[in-house]
Amino acid sequence: MFVSAVPFHPHQRSQGAAHVVMGPRGLADLAQRGSAKAMLPRVPVGPPEIVFLNTAGGLASGDRLSFAVTLRPGARALATTQTAERAYRAEGPAARAEVRLEVGENGWLDWLPQETILFDGARLDRDTAVDLAPGAGCLLVEMIVLGRLARGEQPRRLHLRDRRVVRQGGRTVHHDAMALDDAALPRLDGPALLNGARCLATLAVIAPHAPDLLGPARAALDQPGVTSAASAPPGRLVIRCLARDDWPLRRQVNRLLTMLRPDPLPRIWQV
């Protein structure tokens, strides 16, 4: 019997967690470990900005990543990511990403991460949970790109479980979930699904005044190459956008954000 003398080394898995606590006067606490980091750049105007970073460079099989923001009563902030998140091919268990956002009474949070790029064979489970106190509100953005478009890549294998839940006073006020797998990919070009799109974005405003934004939002859905729709259930505004290319999608999202919020776009974004 042949026994290899070469030692076996299991693949190293990335793990990281970063948690930022903000008060009305700025940073109150910061904890970070592993591959997750948080930066607070100085901004000349607008609310404080929190920039999260995954130093591992992306998510592979078995990785664990957690970002969290807590805003104390009356605090406002914008949280984003330094660059697009990348989910790479995974032969083992799915990578897991968690986002935990807590907004105190009369506070406001803009959660504006850059896009998530899903490589062929990616496996990603992501859960975003938002807890709003009475009088608090938020603006949430999520952008997903299927494959490296510049290389003409079209994923043939994929696993995605992406869920966003917003609760206010313990009651669920917004629940948005998306699932993709190998069996669904051949059918994405159908009119009931992505209709040939490879990039998608969802924007949601959770606040009493959100339905009042429906008219201006629909008027702003004019970017060529992007198919969009907006609806306004009680206490919410939800906008969905589809595109074949990420550049017109980003332009449409930027236009919507400029209309929906009075402050500048995140300085870290390439606009």
| Residue pointed to by tokens 């105007």 | 45
**Mean pLDDT to the nearest integer, 110-115:** 97
Residue 89 in tokens: 């091919």
User: pLDDT tens-digit profile of 182-213?
Assistant: 888 777 777 767 878 889 999 999 999 999 99
Range from 6-20, 121-135, 257-271 carrying the lowest mean pLDDT: 6-20
Measured between alpha carbons, how far is 29 from 39 in angstroms, rounded to an integer? 12
User: pLDDT tens-digit profile of 9-34?
Assistant: 456 688 999 999 999 999 999 999 99
| Residue pointed to by tokens 């505004």 | 237
Q: Is 147 left (phi over 0), alpha (psi -120 to 50) or beta?
A: left
pTM of the predicted model as reported, rounded to 2 decimal places: 0.92
**Mean pLDDT to the nearest integer, 128-147:** 96
> In the predicted model, is pLDDT for residue 59 greater than 60?
yes
Helix ranges (H only) for the chain are 214-219, 246-260
Find out whether 69 and 38 touch, Cβ atoms under 8 Å: no
